[in-house]
């Protein structure tokens, strides 16, 4: 078709380009005159392509068409007029001239929000649905028949800019081009707009964007975001100074906001300038947070800096930084062509720059200093050349005003040290209270007494954490980080100068986390002991020690993630090349158990972060404290806001919401098989990747030709390690009949030597079970074994003292059909069965006769027998003449109802990566 494009802006340019790609002939582009010597993007593109361009300042005067303008238009011979975001009034002589008439793009779901400020009013009215309409032009104001409509959800904190960029622009271009295709094919509908539901609101201008404070917080939020960025909602504050508000979001804990009060005439109460921004209050007592403020002189600041803006001293530039400044002076001059020269006091916007120039300036900076990642907001808040250079230099040095981490610690003097424990949720780089200030008590299993009150996450807290993680992944420093870049950031840890030179950004950040964990290892081990009951020495070596090793191991993988090149069938005479890319998934949820609170966090989080994802982690409700301490250390190590979020709370509420959340792309879970099945169902409904490390009933086969002393020592470790609260614990020992009695005798002798007691006592072998409910299950488990006729050799009872202690227990004469032979105890209970000499295949059948398949083991001096048994055992891990020997480089995960997916080792990265195939024809 022969098409005339009438409009302007990047939107018009993209529609124009797509129409040409579809084979249409653009007979003329009608746009606005140049502004400050710069052509509109649509005009620029058309002129480049040699398409006739007409730049009419107007089409009509006093309601009448200008004859010479109409004449120039009609000579193009257009068969259809396409008006993408046309801001001019086009006379009906032009609208009706082509044989196919004229179609117009409008950014609302007509008939709602007719008029020029449709996007603004969609947000101001708090519409849950937005979208656009392509309609046939008539002589009314957006009243013509509808050709095509598309809708989208309006996010709670959308602004005009975000909804336009996310949906109205990209999908609007596609929709307009699709509408033209329907016309060309003769399939375009003409649906009369209904009168019902039609609205028309005034054009939003600065004068009528003043804030009326006598409204609810939600209405205030909608008004501010509906006017953000243009024309900008404003009010008189602090002595009648006019201030414009940008970046609004609803908050739940504003009433408890700590900061400096700011008087706002007409508001129900003073606003609060906090470290997060400016907290405003509606007449309903609820609150909202504003991130940025702009004054009448055009200066924009972070709202958190209202009382301190302008107080920081200028930094003195090095020779290299001075060279960068002169490069940027030349860039400013090329953008501000009307300015004779660029002085330090030159104001970017007062010298004629527009919003598109901001985008260009940001990109120009990236070309000259890739490590200086600017946002558009940075330009708006530093409008003079001097302020702009100072801001860039501070970013280059890593000194760009990072906020101090505020932690409300619970302190305890214990284990010959003072431990300092965060107890609030950790969301978007801050420790915050849960919605409604809800808390619960975490209990010390050694004495059954509360340790402290911990914030109890609610569904809205989950949504905030996921939103923060999504923003960090999609728009933040972390998501934009090249995994191979080196030496760009400032880190807060030991030997950072060496690490900056040797390792990538992401590697260095993980190494810094590991360094700080090592620096605080005694504190972390102490917290682990009082929160989970782990014996301190074991917590120091394994719970904390392996966590540190895990972060160091995965730090090494950050810049080694790569795809492959694949030969594919050649479609002659063309040639083809296919390669794959391994890319991060996005927001990942991690749900971990209570037996190794810090180590399970490390196993999953380190791999997840190394792959480039962001994390929302729910620790077990009964053991949240080391996860919260890790959040503090990760923030101090320099992990950007939103990359790691920690939410103590219930599985039924927090875990379920993470399983269901549409923006969570992967969920990693370690816990019971029962809960794992439920999570898998939820993840199936929301179609997200999932990995599960679940229960176990791991068999350990001990042959008569074993090293008996080692078999006893490792057999006990296989069951009693970490109080039996170990997912790979040997749930059933099969001992060859000729050594059975000797083995049991030696085990019982050793069990009786074990010291049960305070996990902080260095001589303690066996600490308390993790929590009361688990202790009660262990008692019932052992009582069931006795009722079924198994021989209780020793133990089987709760220890009568404060706290949740249970005796190491040994059962013999256990038949295969017994409950204790088939179900996991997850406690210090050794289940021993005999097998006949020479019946290797029979004992293998019995060992594999379980729905679990997490781990297994065999003790024998016969290497052929050992390898045969290891081949036949149906488990994800097989130990030969050892047990519990996990390593950060070895993959860990099970088969059957013990789950799927791997932690640790190179394979763990695949759980947090997606594979993209790219095919090129050449």
Q: Specify binding-site residues for NADP(+).
A: 592-594, 618-621, 651-656, 671-672, 777, 824-826
User: Burial letters for 164-203: b for 16+ Cβ neighbours within 10 Å, e otherwise?
Assistant: beebbbebbbebbbbbbeebbeeebeeeebeeeeeeebee
Active site residue: 693, 736, 807, 911, which one?
693
Phi, psi of 400 (to 5 degrees): -85, 50
Give the number of residues written for the chain.
922
Say how far apart CA 374 and CA 359 lie, in whole Å.
Answer: 10
- For residues 288 and 217, what is the distance between their CA atoms, to the nearest angstrom? 6
DSSP state of 461: H
Return binding residues: 88-90, 142, 592-594, 618-621, 651-656, 671-672, 777, 824-826
Q: Token digits for 166? A: 């996310």
Q: Which residues are annotated as a binding site for (6R)-10-formyltetrahydrofolate?
A: 88-90, 142
Catalytic-role residue among 24, 97, 100, 106: 106
Catalytic residue from among 683, 727, 766, 911: 727
Helix (H, G, I), strand (E, B) or coil at 254: helix
Q: How many whole angstroms separate alpha carbon 252 and alpha carbon 289?
A: 10
Radius of gyration of the chain (CA): 34
Query: DSSP assignment of 147-205, as one string?
Result: EEEEEEEPPTT--HHHHIIIIITHHHHHHHHHHHHHHHHT----BPPPSTT--B-----
Q: Which helix (H) or strand (E) holds 782?
A: helix 772-787
Q: Alpha helices, DSSP H only, in 566-660?
A: 597-610, 625-637, 656-660
- Is 106 catalytic? The answer is yes
The residues that bridge with 584 in the sheet, in sequence order, are 913
Look at phi and psi of residue 63 and say left if phi exceeds 0, alpha if psi is from -120 to 50, else beta: left
Which one-letter DSSP state was computed for residue 77?
-
CA distances from 591 to 233, 414, 461, 624 (A): 42, 29, 16, 12
How is 307-319 classified by DSSP, letter by letter?
TTTT-SPPPPPPH
Cis before 390 (ω within 30): no
For residues 695 and 851, is the Cβ–Cβ distance under 8 A?
no
| Tokens 């020793």 -> residue | 794
Output the CA–CA distances (angstroms, integers) from residue 599 to 72, 356, 415, 539, 547, in the order listed. Answer: 75, 48, 21, 9, 5
Tokens for 787, please give them: 């009722």
Name residues whose C-beta falls within 8 Å of residue 95's C-beta, 6 or more positions apart in sequence: 81, 101, 102, 137, 138, 139
CA angle (513 as vertex; 508, 515 as ends), nearest 5: 90
Largest CA distance in the chain: 112
Angle at alpha carbon of residue 748, lines to 743 and 751, rounded to 5°? 125
Best CA proximity match to 216, nearest among 258, 255, 262, 268: 268
Among candidate residues 610, 588, 606, the one with its CA nearest the CA of residue 598: 606
SS3 content of the chain, % helix, strand, coil (to 5): 35, 25, 40
Containing 112, the helix (H) or strand (E) segment is none
Q: What tokens appear for 528 in the block?
A: 């682990």
SS3 111: coil
Could you please report the per-residue DSSP string of 802-831? SS--B--EEEES--TTSHHHHS---SSEEE
727 is catalytic: yes
Q: Which residue has the tokens 């063309």?
A: 574
State the catalytic residues: 106, 693, 727
């Amino acid at each position: 078709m022969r098409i005339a494009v009438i409009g302007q802006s990047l939107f018009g340019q993209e529609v124009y380009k797509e129409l040409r790609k579809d084979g249409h002939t653009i007979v003329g582009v009608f746009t606005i005159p140049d502004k400050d010597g710069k052509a509109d993007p649509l005009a620029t593109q058309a002129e480049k392509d040699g398409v006739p361009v007409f730049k009419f300042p107007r089409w009509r005067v006093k309601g009448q068409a200008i004859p010479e303008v109409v004449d120039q238009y009609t000579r193009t011979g257009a068969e259809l007029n396409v008006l993408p975001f046309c801001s001019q009034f086009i006379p009906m002589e032009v609208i009706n001239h082509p044989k196919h008439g004229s179609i117009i793009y409008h950014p609302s779901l007509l008939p709602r929000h007719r008029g020029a400020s449709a996007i603004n009013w969609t947000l101001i009215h708090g519409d849950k649905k937005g979208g656009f309409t392509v309609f046939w032009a008539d002589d009314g104001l957006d009243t013509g028949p509808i050709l095509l409509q598309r809708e989208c959800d309006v996010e709670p904190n959308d602004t005009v800019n975000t909804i336009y960029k996310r949906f109205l622009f990209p999908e609007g271009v596609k929709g307009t081009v699709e509408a033209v295709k329907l016309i060309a094919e003769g399939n375009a509908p003409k649906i009369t707009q209904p009168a019902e539901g039609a609205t028309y609101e005034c054009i939003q201008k600065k004068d009528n964007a003043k804030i009326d404070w006598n409204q609810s917080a939600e209405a205030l939020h909608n008004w501010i975001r509906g006017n953000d960025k243009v024309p900008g909602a404003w009010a008189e504050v602090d002595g009648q100074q006019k201030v414009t508000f940008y970046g609004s979001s609803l908050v739940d804990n504003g009433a408890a906001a700590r900061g400096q009060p700011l008087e706002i005439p007409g508001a129900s109460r003073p606003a609060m300038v906090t470290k997060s921004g400016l907290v405003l209050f509606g007449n309903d007592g609820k609150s909202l947070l504003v991130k940025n403020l702009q004054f009448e002189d055009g200066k924009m600041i972070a709202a958190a800096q209202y009382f301190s803006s302008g107080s920081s001293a200028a930094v003195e530039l090095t020779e290299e930084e001075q060279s960068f400044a002169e490069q940027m002076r030349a860039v400013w001059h090329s953008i501000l062509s009307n300015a004779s020269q660029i002085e330090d006091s030159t104001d970017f916007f007062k010298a004629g720059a527009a919003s598109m120039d901001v985008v260009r300036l940001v990109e120009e900076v990236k070309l000259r200093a890739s490590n200086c990642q600017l946002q558009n907001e940075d330009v708006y808040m530093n409008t003079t050349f001097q302020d702009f250079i100072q801001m860039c230099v501070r970013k280059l040095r890593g000194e760009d005003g990072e906020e101090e981490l505020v932690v409300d610690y619970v302190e305890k003097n214990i284990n010959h040290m003072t431990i300092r424990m965060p107890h609030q949720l950790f969301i978007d780089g801050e420790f915050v209270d849960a919605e409604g200030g809800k808390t619960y008590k975490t209990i010390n299993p050694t004495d059954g007494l509360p340790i402290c009150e911990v914030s109890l996450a609610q569904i809205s807290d989950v949504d905030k954490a996921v939103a923060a993680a999504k923003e960090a992944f999609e728009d933040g420093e972390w998501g934009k980080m090249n995994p191979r870049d080196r030496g760009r950031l400032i880190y807060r840890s030991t030997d950072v100068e060496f690490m900056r030179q040797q390792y990538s950004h992401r590697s260095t950040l993980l190494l810094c986390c590991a360094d700080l964990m090592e620096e605080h290892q005694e504190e972390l081990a102490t917290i682990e002991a009082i929160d989970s009951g782990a014996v301190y020495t074991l917590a120091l070596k394994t719970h904390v020690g392996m966590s540190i090793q895990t972060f160091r191991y995965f730090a090494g993988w950050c810049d080694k993630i790569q795809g492959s090149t694949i030969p594919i069938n050649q479609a002659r005479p063309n040639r083809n090349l296919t390669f794959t890319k391994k890319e991060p998934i996005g927001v990942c949820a991690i749900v971990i158990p209570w037996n190794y609170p810090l180590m399970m966090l490390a196993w999953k989080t380190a791999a997840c972060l190394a792959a480039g994802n962001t994390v929302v982690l729910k620790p077990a409700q009964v053991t949240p404290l080391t996860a919260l301490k890790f959040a503090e250390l990760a923030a101090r190590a320099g992990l950007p806001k939103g990359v790691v979020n920690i939410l103590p709370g219930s599985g039924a509420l927090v875990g379920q919401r993470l399983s269901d959340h549409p923006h969570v792309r992967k969920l990693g879970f370690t816990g019971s098989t029962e809960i794992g099945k439920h999570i898998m169902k939820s993840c199936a409904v929301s179609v997200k990747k999932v990995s599960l490390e679940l229960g176990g009933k791991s068999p350990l086969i001990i042959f008569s030709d074993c090293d008996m002393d080692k078999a006893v020592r490792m057999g006990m470790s296989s069951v009693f390690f970490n109080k039996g609260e170990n997912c790979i614990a040997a749930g059933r020992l099969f001992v060859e009949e000729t050594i059975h009695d000797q083995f049991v005798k030696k085990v019982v002798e050793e069990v009786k030597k074990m010291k049960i007691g305070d996990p902080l006592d260095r001589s303690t072998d066996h600490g308390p079970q993790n929590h009361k409910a688990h202790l009660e299950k262990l008692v019932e488990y052992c009582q069931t074994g006795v009722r079924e006729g198994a021989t209780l050799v020793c133990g089987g009872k709760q220890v009568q003292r404060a706290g949740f202690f249970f005796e190491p227990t040994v059962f013999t004469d256990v038949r295969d059909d017994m409950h204790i032979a088939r179900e996991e105890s997850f406690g210090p209970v050794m289940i021993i069965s005999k097998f006949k000499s020479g019946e290797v295949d029979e004992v293998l059948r019995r060992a594999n006769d379980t729905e679990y398949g997490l781990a297994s083991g065999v003790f024998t001096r016969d290497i052929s027998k050992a390898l045969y048994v290891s081949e036949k055992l149906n488990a994800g891990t097989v130990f030969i003449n050892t047990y519990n020997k996990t390593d950060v480089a070895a993959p860990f995960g099970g088969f059957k109802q013990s789950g799927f997916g791997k932690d640790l080792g190179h394979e763990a990265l695949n759980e947090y990566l997606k594979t993209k195939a790219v095919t090129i024809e050449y």
